[in-house]
Amino acid sequence: MPENREGRFKPALGLFDATAIGIGAIIGGGIFVVTGIVAGLAGPALVVSIVVAAIVALLTALSFVELTAWLPTEGSVYEFARRLVSPSGGFLTGWMWVVSNTFAGAAVSLGFSYYLAALLPSVEPKLIAAGLCAAFTAVNYVGVRQSAALNNILVSAKVVILVLFVAVGISHINSGYFVPFIPSELGVLYGAYFIFFAYGGFARIAVAAEEVRDARRVVPRAIMLALTVSTVIYVLVGVVAVGLIGAGELGRSNSPLVDAIAIIGSPVLIYVVSLGGMMATASVLLTSILGVSRVTYAMARRDDLPRVFGRLHRKYNTPHLSILIAGAVMAFLVLSADLTKLVAVGTFSQLFYYGSANFSALRLKAEARFYPRLVQAIALGTCALLLVFVSQLGLEIGAVCLATGAVYYVLKRKRTLILEGETVKPQE
């Protein structure tokens, strides 16, 4: 198979492409799938959970704005932690990024299949999800421009459908569903933990920074634009969804927005919202595979992973082996795990590497700063606070993934030292 061994990406993405990657990564699994999980925890205060998660995401986004302006490079948070914290800290950050986005990709592919099942009840959701992973692995394999073009279409379509959901549903809201508004304060915070899963996608823009034209200027703008647009849409959709059928019904649904709009009694709206759910989750899967492959590429370039993952395809200019493995692991996960487990592990890993990003930003020198260090300190604290509300299952599996990465790094480091020692001896 032809390969580009120089490992150089060609900048091909502009501001619209970069912003669309961010919106595509944010608006998907969260609002179309995780909404049901959060409604079951927070009740009608679902929207408060959305706002809390948005604040945590915004604070962390400010760290990414500084870091990306300082060093617009492929691999993003992995490179930041490696250069500003330590090589081992960078490795674990990159490792948990890969874990998070792999579980996230599997989760949203399941979300896609649940919305398809709302239209075609006879389909087997897990098989459909695995097939979608394979299809989008192929799209990523042939190039970032092709992935970005498809993502732009999906993002535009799903935003239009969500605006339609709000416009039609707002006149059918039952205010009684909002009483009592906050049945459990802890439920709101647990809900914020799960809905944060959705916001994590904004950093995927930074991961592909070397493929963005004028990245120092464009990437920070794209991050803030994507986060702002997505938060406004999340809040509006959350309010309307609860107002249509109540938090209890939402909490029992695998396709919550379809069940919410069904109360209006229009088969056309059910079909359109189902289509929107499929488009939304598909675009997140597309960018998840891109994110995993770019970080493994960056780690291989540094010899933190086998160098074969750092080779680019000569024709498509993509890290093809990383893409193939990412897609295969996601397909395996959808066949062996349920949605809640995937979201819990993905969010645990996500909060770990975003905490690392905030700590890295704290280490920036004064001349590279846009904001006082207090901003990064608060952001780091909010990530730690949300980790308190991780489920036991998410904590156990996430901790195992973290420990596996640590063991791999220690063994790799020992092997490197042994090889260096064997090289030095003959010279002596």
Question: What are the pLDDT tens digits along the chain (428 aa)?
Answer: 344 444 456 676 778 888 877 777 777 666 787 888 889 889 999 999 999 988 888 888 888 888 888 887 766 788 899 999 999 999 999 999 899 989 988 988 888 898 888 888 888 989 999 999 999 898 888 866 666 677 678 778 888 899 999 999 999 999 999 988 877 778 888 888 888 877 877 776 766 666 778 777 787 888 888 888 888 999 999 999 999 999 889 988 888 899 999 999 999 999 999 888 888 787 778 778 877 888 888 888 888 998 888 888 888 777 888 889 989 999 999 999 888 888 888 889 988 989 999 999 999 988 888 888 998 999 999 998 888 877 677 788 889 999 999 999 999 988 877 776 665 454 44
CA angle 242, 244, 246 (to 5 degrees): 45
Q: The tokens of 28 are what? A: 């998907």
User: Which of 116, 131, 422 shows the shortest CA–CA distance to 276?
Assistant: 116
The dihedral formed by the CA atoms of 370, 371, 377 and 383, expressed in degrees to the nearest 10: -70
210 secondary structure, DSSP code: G
Closest CA to 286 of 117, 162, 138: 138
* CATH code that applies to domain 12-427: 1.20.1740.10
Strand (E) or helix (H) holding 203: none
Question: Which residue type sits at 51?
Answer: V
Residue-wise pLDDT tens digits, 334-357 = 999 888 888 888 889 988 989 999
Q: Which two tokens stand for residue 172?
A: 């059918």
Residue 217, pLDDT score? 78
**Domain locations in the chain?**
12-427
**What pLDDT does 5 receive?**
43
- Global pTM reads 0.80
User: How many residues make up the chain in this entry?
Assistant: 428
Could you tell me which residues come within 8 angstroms of residue 207 by beta carbon, excluding any fewer than 6 positions away? 74, 75, 76, 77, 97, 290, 291, 294, 295
Q: What pLDDT digit, counting tens, does each position of 274-297 carry?
A: 888 888 787 778 778 877 888 888
